Structure 1
Amino acid sequence: MSRKRFENKVIVIPGSTSGVGKASAVAFAKEGGKVVVSGRREDCGEQVIEEIKSFSGEATFVRADMASRDDIANLINETIRIYGRIDVAFNNFGKHTEAIALIADYEEECFDAHMNISMKSMWLCMKYQIKAMLKQEKGNYAILNSSSISGVGGGWPFISVYSIAKSGVDSMSKSAAQEYAQDGVRVNSLGGGFFDTEMIHTYFEELAKFHGITKKELDDQINKSIPLGRLATPQEVANTVLFLCSSEASYITGASIIIDGGMSSKYL
Structure 2
Amino acid sequence: MSRKRFQDKVILIPGSTSGVGKASAIAFAKEGGKVVVSGRREDRGQQVIDKIKSFSGEATFIKADMASRDDIKKLTDETIRIYGRIDVAFNNFGKHDEAIALIADYDEECFDAHMDISMKSMWLCMKHQIKAMLKQEKGDYAILNSSSISGVGGGWPFISVYSIAKSGVDSMSKSAAQEYAQKGIRVNSLGGGFFDTEMIHIYFEELAQFYGITKKQLDEQINSSIPLGRLATPQEVANTVLFLCSSEASYITGASIVIDGGMSSKYL
Question: TM-score with structure 1 length normalisation?
Answer: 1.00
Residue correspondence of structure 1 range 229-240 to structure 2 within 5 A: 229-240=229-240
Deviation track 1:126-150 (CA, whole Å, cap 9, x = no partner) reads: 0000000000000000000000000
Do residues 219 (structure 1) and 230 (structure 2) align? no
Residue 188 of structure 1 contacts residue 256 of structure 1 at CA under 8 Å; is this kept in 2? Answer: yes
Q: CA deviation at 1:232?
A: 0.1
Do residues 52 (structure 1) and 43 (structure 2) align? no
Runs of 4+ displaced beyond 6 Å:
none
Cα separation, 2, equivalents of 1:19 and 1:247: 24
- Please tell me the residue identity of whatever aligns with 1:115: M
Q: CA deviation at 1:97?
A: 2.0
- Identity, in percent, stands at 90
Deviation track 1:85-142 (CA, whole Å, cap 9, x = no partner) reads: 0000000000112100000000100000000010000000000000000000000000
Counterpart for residue 199 of structure 2: 199
Residue 13 of structure 1 contacts residue 25 of structure 1 at CA under 8 Å; is this kept in 2? Answer: yes
Q: CA deviation at 1:225?
A: 0.1
Number of positions where the alignment pairs a residue of Structure 1 with one of Structure 2: 268
Cα separation, 2, equivalents of 1:207 and 1:81: 42
Gaps of 5+ in 1: none
Do residues 64 (structure 1) and 102 (structure 2) align? no
Counterpart for residue 114 of structure 1: 114
Q: CA deviation at 1:153?
A: 2.1
Deviation track 1:167-194 (CA, whole Å, cap 9, x = no partner) reads: 0000000000000000000000000000
Residue correspondence of structure 1 range 106-255 to structure 2 within 5 A: 106-255=106-255
Residue 97 of structure 1 contacts residue 199 of structure 1 at CA under 8 Å; is this kept in 2? Answer: no
Counterpart for residue 32 of structure 1: 32
